[in-house]
Amino acid sequence: CSGMAAPTMEERKACWGARDEFWQCLDSHGDDAAKCEKLRRAFEARCPQQWVKHFDKRRDFLKYKKKLETEGFHPPEAAGKS
Examine residue 3 and state whether it is found in any structural domain, yes or no.
Answer: no
**Number of C-beta neighbours around residue 61 at 10 A:** 10
Q: Is residue 59 part of a domain?
A: yes
23-46 pLDDT, tens per residue? 999 999 999 999 999 999 999 999
What does the pLDDT look like over 37-75, one tens digit per residue?
999 999 999 999 999 999 999 999 999 999 999 988 766
Is 21 contained in some domain? Answer: yes
pTM: 0.76
Residue in 36, 16, 18 with CA at minimum distance from that of residue 26: 36
On whether the CB atoms of residues 7 and 48 are closer than 8 A, the answer is: yes
C-alpha distance from residue 13 to each of 35, 49, 79 (Å): 24, 15, 39
The tally of domains found in the chain comes to 1
Question: 74 lies in a domain?
Answer: no
For the chain, the average pLDDT equals: 88
In a domain, 37, yes or no: yes
CA distances 7 to 1, 19, 78, Å, are 12, 15, 41
- The answer to whether residue 19 sits within a structural domain is yes
Q: Helix 9-28 and helix 37-46: axis angle, to 10°?
A: 160
Structural domain that includes position 52: 11-65
